C-alpha cells in the first residue's frame, strides 16, 4: 500500500515538480508582500513594514524548504544524489570509466546481438494467426529422417487427413522452378519459383488475398489450372502496383495463366522447402498422376497442417504414427515409411540450432569474463577507496546506504555499457546481415525492437549486480578504526581479498581458454571443409540451369537434339575448354534412383539398391575432370540407337560388386517389378544399361558426407529419364563468369524463350553451402578474440595492482639482498601458477563443452589433443607476457626511496 501511495504521489509530483518548486518562492513572496501592505495600512512606516512582515512571517527560507520537502520523496532524492555522485566519480576517473564501459559494451553488445538472432530464429511468434497450431509433416524411412523424401506422398497425406482426428486441415504443396514471362510481349522470360498450392494452403495459414480470389477446387484439376496468384512484391515490381492486374496474363513455361489474386508478402523465405529464392507466384496444385494408387511412392512434396484446438503436436504425432504403421502394413510402397510431426515454429531455426547454442554459450562466457574483469577492477579500486568509505561510515552512513551508493555506481557503468553495447550490436548485426550467406534466409527476420531493448536492460541490470555486488559487500565490511588509523597508506588486501581475486583470475583464464579452444576447432573444421577434395578439378568450372518446358519440348528426342546442339555451340566458344549437359554436379546431387543389380534379388522395399543418379552427355567426365578408373569412357558411338551404357563410381563398385568385375554387367534403372511405380519411371527394357566404365568418386551427397554410389547414363539413350531440366557445366581457360553472356547468347539463339539461370562457379556453390559454418566460425573467432583480450587485460591489471600493493614488501626483500631475478621470479611464479590453474580448468571446461561442438565439426575431433595443448600454451605464453610488464616494474623498485616514504 505504501509503495502504491509512493508511486501515485510520485506521478503527481513528477508531473508538476519543476513548476511547483519554482512557485513556492513566488507564493511566499506574494503573501509576504501582502503582509507588508497590511502592516503599512495599519500605520507602520513603509521603511519598516517589510521587516515587520518578515518578522511576522518567521524564517521564510525554512518555510520554503519545508514546502519543497512536501513535493519530494526521500529515497528518490537520495538515489538522485548517488547518481550525481557516481557520475562525478566517473568523470574524475576517465581511464577507469572508459575501460569499464568498453568492457561492458563488448559483453552486453555481444549478448544483445546474439539474443536478437535467437529471438528472430526461435522465440518470436510466426507471422500467422494461431501459429502454434501449425505443424509440418516429414516422411521418414526406417525410422530416420530422410531429406530426399521431404513430406509424405500426396496419397499418404490424403489417407492421414482422412483417418486422423488431429487436424483441421492438411495440405500437400510444392514449389518448382519455372520459366516465367511477366509481360505479354517483349519481356525476357526469367526463372522464377512457382508454388503449386491448393486454396487450402492460404486458408490454413489464414492469409487473405490483398485483392482477387483464392483458387477454386475445380482449378486443382489439371487442364483447369491456368490461374495464378502473385506476391505483392511481384505486383509492385513487375506491374507497378496496378490495380487492374487481375485478369492479365503471365506466361509460365510457355503456357498462359490468368492472374486472379495478389497475396500479401507474409510467408517467410525459410518456409520454402528448397534453397533457392522466394516463391513469388502460386498456381493450383494440379497433378493428374499423384492421386492414383501407383503414385503412393512419389515423395518430394511438402506438407503443412493445422492442428485442431487443444491438440498438441505430440498427440498428432502419436495419431499419425499409428496410421502410418497401418499404411505400411497395407501398401508395399509404404514399407519402412513413417511420419514425423514438427511444429512449424521449430522448423524455422533449421540447421542453425547447434550453431546458435554454441554462439550463445560463447557470448555468455564473454559476459562472464567482462563481469569478472570489472569485479576485479572494482575490488582494486575499493582497496583505494576504503578511507573514503570509512569516513562516510564514520559520519553516519549505514552499510545499506554505502552498498546502495556502490551499486548505483556499477548500475551507471552498466547502463553506459549497455548503451554503447546496443550500438555495437546494431553495427555487428548490420555487418552480418549484409555479409550473410544466401542459404540462411532466416537471418532476414532479424530486427532490433522493444524485445531486444528489454533484454539488454535486463542483462545490464543483472550484469551490474553480478560484478558489483561482491566488491560492494566486501568493500563495506569495514573496520573503521583500523582503516582510518592507517593514515594515507592504501590498505594491503588481506589474504581473503587476495584469494577472491585469484579465484576471479582463474575463472577468467578458464573461460578464455574455452573460447579459444572452441574457435580454433571451428577454424580447423572450416578449413577442412573448404579444402575438401570434391573429386573433380574444381577450378574454372561454371554451371548454369536450364529448363525446357514440356509444351514445346514434349518429345525426349527434341530435348536431346536441343541439348546436343547447345553443348556443341558452347564448346565452340573461345575460352571454353569443354562443356557437358548433365543433371549431376558436385557437391550434392539430389536424384536418388532405385536400381536392379544382377545377383541381388530383393523382395523388400528397404533392400532395394539405390544410387545417386545423373544423366549427361559423353563429355561429362572430361569436363568435370573425373578420372576413369577402369573400362572405357562414353564415346560418340554411344548413340540413341546403340546399346545403352553406364559409368558407375568406385564407391558403387565397392558396394555392389565387391568381388566381381562390374564391366559388362547389366543394371536396370528403376525399381524391381514387384513395386508398382508412378508413370514416368516405369520398368520397360529401355532403361537397362551395361556398365562400361568405373570413374573416380566425387562428392554427390553433400560437402561433409562421404560420396555415395553414383551411376551416370547418357540422356540420349534413356528417353524415360530425359526430362526438360538440365544443367550445363563449362570448363574454361580463364575467369569463368566472363563466359556467361556468350553462353546465354548461344542459348537464346537456339531458343529465345529460355532463361539461363542459377549461374555459379563450383567454388561459389561450395562457398554458399559452407555459409553457415563460415558465419559460425567468424563469429566464434571474434568472440574468442574479445574474450581472450579481456582475460589478458584482466590478468595484467591484477598483477599490476598486486605489484603496486606489495611495493613495500618487495622493497624490503630487495633491501635485504633479493636479486632482480628473484623478485621477477617471485611475481611471475605467483601469477603464472594462478593462470595455470585456470588453464587446467579451462581444458576440462572445453572437454565438457564438446557436446555443443561435435555436430558442427568436420574432420577434427571435438577433443583434438593438439588443439587443446596449443591453445593452452598460447594462452599461458600471452599471460606470461602480460605479467612480465608489471613484474619488470617490480624489479625497478628503488628500496631506499620506497621505504623512506612511509
Other beta carbons within 10 angstroms of residue 851's beta carbon come to: 10
- Please report how close the Cβ of residue 58 comes to other proteins at its closest, in angstroms: 5
Nearer to other proteins, 43 or 223 (CB): 43
Nearer to other proteins, 53 or 827 (CB): 53
**CA nearest 619: which of 531, 541, 721?**
541
- 555 near other proteins, rule: CB under 8 A: no
- 635 near other proteins, rule: CB under 8 A: no
- 2 near other proteins, rule: CB under 8 A: no
Q: Which stretch binds other proteins (CB under 8 A): 33-41, 91-99, 149-157, 209-217?
A: 33-41
Which of 7, 12, 639, 733: binder of other proteins (CB under 8 A)?
A: 12
- Please report how close the Cβ of residue 78 comes to other proteins at its closest, in angstroms: 16
SS3 of 234-268: HHHHHHCCCHHHCCCEEEECCEEEEEEEEECCCCC
Nearer to other proteins, 9 or 292 (CB): 9
- Please report how close the Cβ of residue 398 comes to other proteins at its closest, in angstroms: 22
Task: Give the DSSP letter string of 23-70.
Answer: HHHHHHHHHHHHHHHHHHHTT--HHHHHHHHHHHH--HHHHHHHHHHH
Q: Which stretch binds other proteins (CB under 8 A): 22-30, 185-193, 375-383, 587-595?
A: 22-30
- Please report how close the Cβ of residue 35 comes to other proteins at its closest, in angstroms: 6
Which of 7, 14, 15, 31: binder of other proteins (CB under 8 A)?
A: 31
Q: Which stretch binds other proteins (CB under 8 A): 6-14, 304-312, 437-445, 715-723?
A: 6-14
CA-only gyration radius of the chain, Å: 38
- 266 near other proteins, rule: CB under 8 A: no
* CA-to-CA separations, 572 to 463, 565, 638, in angstroms, rounded: 67, 11, 22
Question: Given its phi and psi angles, is residue 783 left (phi above 0), alpha (psi -120 to 50 degrees) or beta?
Answer: alpha
- Please report how close the Cβ of residue 77 comes to other proteins at its closest, in angstroms: 13
Nearer to other proteins, 30 or 433 (CB): 30
Which of 14, 30, 815, 822: binder of other proteins (CB under 8 A)?
A: 30
Nearer to other proteins, 63 or 863 (CB): 63
* Cell numbers 548485426: residue: 429
Nearer to other proteins, 11 or 240 (CB): 11
Nearer to other proteins, 26 or 531 (CB): 26
- Please report how close the Cβ of residue 34 comes to other proteins at its closest, in angstroms: 5
**CA nearest 373: which of 60, 788, 827?**
788
Count of residues touching other proteins (by CB under 8 A): 26
- Please report how close the Cβ of residue 84 comes to other proteins at its closest, in angstroms: 24
- 186 near other proteins, rule: CB under 8 A: no
- Please report how close the Cβ of residue 374 comes to other proteins at its closest, in angstroms: 40
Nearer to other proteins, 43 or 143 (CB): 43
Which of 9, 734, 749, 877: binder of other proteins (CB under 8 A)?
A: 9
Which of 34, 210, 394, 431: binder of other proteins (CB under 8 A)?
A: 34
- 7 near other proteins, rule: CB under 8 A: no
- Please report how close the Cβ of residue 46 comes to other proteins at its closest, in angstroms: 15
- Please report how close the Cβ of residue 396 comes to other proteins at its closest, in angstroms: 21
Contacting other proteins within 348-377 (CB under 8 A): none
* CA-to-CA separations, 147 to 157, 279, 404, 770, in angstroms, rounded: 17, 20, 58, 18
Q: Which stretch binds other proteins (CB under 8 A): 34-42, 118-126, 511-519, 729-737?
A: 34-42
- Please report how close the Cβ of residue 62 comes to other proteins at its closest, in angstroms: 6
- 877 near other proteins, rule: CB under 8 A: no
Strand 255-263 with 167-181, pairing: unpaired
Nearer to other proteins, 40 or 682 (CB): 40
Surface-to-core class of residue 205, CB atoms within 10 Å of its CB (0-12 exposed, 13-18 middle, 19+ buried): buried
- Please report how close the Cβ of residue 9 comes to other proteins at its closest, in angstroms: 6
* CB-based burial, 537-576: b 16+ in 10 Å, e otherwise: ebebbbbbbbbbbeebbeebeebbebbeebbebbeeeeeb
Measured distance CA(363)–CA(111) in Å, rounded: 6
- Please report how close the Cβ of residue 167 comes to other proteins at its closest, in angstroms: 58
Task: Reply yes or no: is the peptide bond before residue 53 cis, omega within 30 of 0.
Answer: no
Residue 10, CB-side half-sphere exposure with 13 Å CA sphere:
11
Which of 28, 276, 812, 899: binder of other proteins (CB under 8 A)?
A: 28
Binding mask 38-77 for other proteins (x = CB under 8 A): -------------------xxxx-xx--xx-xxx------
Q: Which residues pair with 138 in a beta bridge?
A: 340
Task: List phi, psi (to 5°) of 140.
Answer: -120, 155
Nearer to other proteins, 52 or 461 (CB): 52
* CA-to-CA separations, 226 to 207, 216, 247, 553, in angstroms, rounded: 21, 12, 11, 19
User: CA geometry: angle at 559 spanning 556 and 560, to 5°?
Assistant: 90
Contacting other proteins within 479-498 (CB under 8 A): none
Measured distance CA(541)–CA(623) in Å, rounded: 8
- 265 near other proteins, rule: CB under 8 A: no
- Please report how close the Cβ of residue 13 comes to other proteins at its closest, in angstroms: 7
Contact 180, 250 (CB under 8 A): yes
- Please report how close the Cβ of residue 401 comes to other proteins at its closest, in angstroms: 21
**CA nearest 303: which of 396, 382, 197?**
197
Nearer to other proteins, 41 or 293 (CB): 41
SS3 of 389-438: HHHHHHCCCCHHHHHHHHHHHHHHHHHHHHHHHHHHHHHHHHHHHHHCCC
- Please report how close the Cβ of residue 10 comes to other proteins at its closest, in angstroms: 11
- 99 near other proteins, rule: CB under 8 A: no
- 176 near other proteins, rule: CB under 8 A: no
Nearer to other proteins, 15 or 604 (CB): 15
Contact 228, 258 (CB under 8 A): yes
Contact 301, 170 (CB under 8 A): no
* CA-to-CA separations, 543 to 16, 575, 617, 761, in angstroms, rounded: 72, 15, 15, 6
Nearer to other proteins, 61 or 454 (CB): 61
Q: Which stretch binds other proteins (CB under 8 A): 17-25, 653-661, 852-860, 885-893?
A: 17-25
Helices 353-394 and 399-435, packing angle to 10 deg: 150
Nearer to other proteins, 28 or 52 (CB): 28
- Please report how close the Cβ of residue 27 comes to other proteins at its closest, in angstroms: 4
Nearer to other proteins, 60 or 884 (CB): 60
- Please report how close the Cβ of residue 404 comes to other proteins at its closest, in angstroms: 23
**CA nearest 287: which of 204, 191, 173?**
173
Which of 7, 14, 15, 33: binder of other proteins (CB under 8 A)?
A: 33
Measured distance CA(174)–CA(290) in Å, rounded: 12
Other beta carbons within 10 angstroms of residue 135's beta carbon come to: 27
Measured distance CA(417)–CA(177) in Å, rounded: 49
Binding site for other proteins (CB under 8 A): 9, 12-13, 20, 23-24, 26-28, 30-31, 33-35, 37, 57-60, 62-63, 66-67, 69-71
Amino acid at each position: 500500500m505504501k509503495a502504491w501511495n509512493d508511486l501515485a504521489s510520485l506521478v503527481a509530483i513528477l508531473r508538476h515538480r519543476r513548476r511547483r518548486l519554482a512557485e513556492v518562492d513566488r507564493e511566499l513572496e506574494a503573501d509576504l508582500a501582502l503582509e507588508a501592505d497590511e502592516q503599512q495600512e495599519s500605520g507602520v512606516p513603509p521603511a519598516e513594514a517589510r521587516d515587520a512582515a518578515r518578522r511576522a512571517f518567521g524564517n521564510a527560507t525554512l518555510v520554503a524548504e519545508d514546502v519543497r520537502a512536501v513535493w519530494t520523496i526521500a529515497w528518490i532524492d537520495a538515489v538522485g544524489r548517488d547518481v550525481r555522485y557516481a557520475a562525478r566519480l566517473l568523470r574524475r576517473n576517465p581511464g577507469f570509466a572508459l575501460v569499464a564501459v568498453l568492457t561492458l559494451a563488448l559483453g552486453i553488445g555481444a549478448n544483445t546481438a546474439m539474443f536478437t538472432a535467437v529471438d528472430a530464429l526461435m522465440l518470436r511468434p510466426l507471422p500467422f494467426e494461431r501459429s502454434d497450431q501449425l505443424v509440418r509433416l516429414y516422411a521418414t524411412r526406417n525410422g530416420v529422417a530422410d531429406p530426399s523424401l521431404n513430406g509424405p506422398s500426396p496419397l499418404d497425406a490424403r489417407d492421414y487427413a482422412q483417418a486422423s482426428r488431429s487436424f483441421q486441415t492438411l495440405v500437400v504443396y510444392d514449389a518448382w522452378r519455372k520459366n516465367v514471362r511477366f509481360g505479354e510481349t517483349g519481356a525476357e522470360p526469367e526463372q522464377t519459383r512457382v508454388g503449386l498450392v491448393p486454396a487450402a494452403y492460404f486458408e490454413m495459414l489464414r492469409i487473405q488475398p490483398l485483392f482477387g480470389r483464392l483458387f477454386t477446387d475445380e482449378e486443382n484439376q489439371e487442364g483447369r489450372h491456368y490461374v495464378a496468384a502473385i506476391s505483392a512484391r511481384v505486383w509492385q515490381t513487375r506491374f507497378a502496383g496496378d490495380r487492374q492486374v487481375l485478369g492479365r496474363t503471365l506466361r509460365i513455361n510457355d503456357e498462359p495463366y490468368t492472374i486472379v489474386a495478389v497475396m500479401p508478402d507474409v510467408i517467410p523465405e525459410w518456409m520454402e522447402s528448397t534453397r533457392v529464392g522466394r516463391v513469388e507466384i502460386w498456381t493450383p496444385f494440379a497433378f493428374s498422376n499423384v492421386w492414383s494408387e501407383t503414385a503412393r511412392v512419389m515423395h518430394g512434396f511438402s506438407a503443412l497442417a493445422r492442428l485442431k484446438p487443444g491438440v498438441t503436436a505430440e498427440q498428432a504425432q502419436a495419431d499419425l504414427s499409428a496410421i502410418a504403421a497401418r499404411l505400411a502394413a497395407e501398401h508395399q510402397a509404404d514399407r519402412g515409411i513413417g511420419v514425423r510431426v514438427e511444429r512449424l515454429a521449430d522448423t524455422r531455426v533449421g540447421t542453425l540450432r547447434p550453431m546458435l547454442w554454441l554462439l550463445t554459450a560463447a557470448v555468455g562466457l564473454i559476459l562472464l569474463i567482462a563481469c569478472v574483469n570489472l569485479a576485479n577492477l572494482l575490488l582494486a579500486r575499493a582497496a583505494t577507496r576504503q578511507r573514503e568509505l570509512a569516513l562516510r561510515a564514520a559520519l553516519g552512513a549505514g552499510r545499506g546506504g554505502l552498498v546502495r551508493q556502490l551499486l548505483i555506481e556499477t548500475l551507471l557503468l552498466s547502463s553506459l555499457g549497455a548503451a554503447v553495447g546496443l550500438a555495437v550490436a546494431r553495427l555487428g548485426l548490420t555487418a552480418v546481415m549484409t555479409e550473410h550467406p544466401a542459404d540462411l534466409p532466416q537471418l532476414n527476420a532479424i530486427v532490433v525492437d522493444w524485445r531486444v531493448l528489454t533484454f539488454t536492460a535486463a542483462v545490464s541490470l543483472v550484469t551490474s549486480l553480478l560484478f558489483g555486488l561482491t566488491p560492494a559487500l566486501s568493500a563495506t565490511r569495514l573496520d573503521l578504526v583500523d582503516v582510518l588509523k592507517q593514515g594515507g597508506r592504501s590498505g594491503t588486501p588481506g589474504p581473503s581479498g587476495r584469494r577472491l581475486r585469484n579465484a576471479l583470475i582463474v575463472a577468467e583464464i578458464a573461460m578464455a581458454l574455452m573460447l579459444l579452444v572452441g574457435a580454433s576447432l571451428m577454424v580447423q573444421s572450416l578449413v577442412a571443409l573448404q579444402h575438401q577434395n570434391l573429386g573433380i578439378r574444381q577450378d574454372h568450372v561454371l554451371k548454369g540451369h536450364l529448363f525446357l518446358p514440356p509444351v514445346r519440348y514434349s518429345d525426349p528426342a527434341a530435348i536431346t537434339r536441343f541439348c546436343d546442339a547447345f553443348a556443341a555451340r558452347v564448346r565452340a566458344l573461345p575460352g571454353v575448354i569443354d562443356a557437358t549437359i548433365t543433371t549431376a554436379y558436385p557437391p550434392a546431387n539430389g536424384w536418388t534412383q532405385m536400381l536392379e543389380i544382377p545377383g541381388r534379388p530383393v523382395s523388400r522395399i528397404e533392400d532395394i539398391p539405390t544410387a545417386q543418379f545423373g544423366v549427361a552427355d559423353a563429355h561429362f567426365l572430361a569436363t568435370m575432370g573425373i578420372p576413369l578408373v577402369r573400362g572405357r569412357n562414353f564415346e560418340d558411338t554411344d548413340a540413341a540407337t546403340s546399346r545403352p551404357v553406364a559409368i558407375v563410381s568406385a564407391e558403387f563398385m565397392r558396394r555392389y560388386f565387391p568381388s566381381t568385375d562390374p564391366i559388362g554387367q547389366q543394371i536396370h534403372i528403376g525399381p524391381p517389378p514387384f513395386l508398382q511405380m508412378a508413370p514416368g519411371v516405369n520398368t520397360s527394357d529401355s532403361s537397362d544399361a551395361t556398365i562400361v566404365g568405373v570413374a573416380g568418386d566425387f562428392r554427390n551427397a553433400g560437402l561433409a558426407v562421404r560420396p555415395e554410389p553414383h551411376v551416370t547414363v547418357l540422356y540420349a539413350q534413356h528417353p524415360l529419364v530425359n526430362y526438360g531440366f538440365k544443367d550445363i557445366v563449362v570448363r574454361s581457360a580463364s575467369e569463368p563468369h566472363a563466359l556467361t553472356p556468350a553462353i546465354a547468347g548461344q542459348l537464346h539463339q537456339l531458343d529465345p524463350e529460355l532463361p539461363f539461370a542459377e549461374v555459379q562457379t563450383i567454388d561459389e556453390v561450395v562457398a554458399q553451402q559452407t555459409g553457415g559454418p563460415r558465419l559460425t566460425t567468424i563469429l566464434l573467432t571474434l568472440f574468442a578474440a574479445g574474450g581472450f583480450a579481456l582475460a589478458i587485460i584482466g590478468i595484467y591489471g591484477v598483477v599490476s595492482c598486486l605489484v603496486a600493493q606489495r611495493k613495500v614488501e618487495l622493497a624490503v626483500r630487495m633491501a635485504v639482498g633479493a636479486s632482480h631475478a628473484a623478485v621477477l621470479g617471485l611475481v611471475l611464479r605467483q601469477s603464472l601458477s594462478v593462470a595455470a590453474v585456470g588453464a587446467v580448468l579451462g581444458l576440462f571446461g572445453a572437454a565438457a563443452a564438446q557436446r555443443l561442438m561435435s555436430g558442427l565439426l568436420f574432420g577434427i575431433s571435438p577433443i583434438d589433443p593438439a588443439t587443446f595443448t596449443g591453445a593452452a600454451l598460447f594462452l599461458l605464453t600471452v599471460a606470461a607476457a602480460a605479467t612480465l610488464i608489471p613484474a619488470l616494474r617490480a624489479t625497478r623498485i628503488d628500496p631506499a626511496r620506497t621505504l623512506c616514504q612511509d
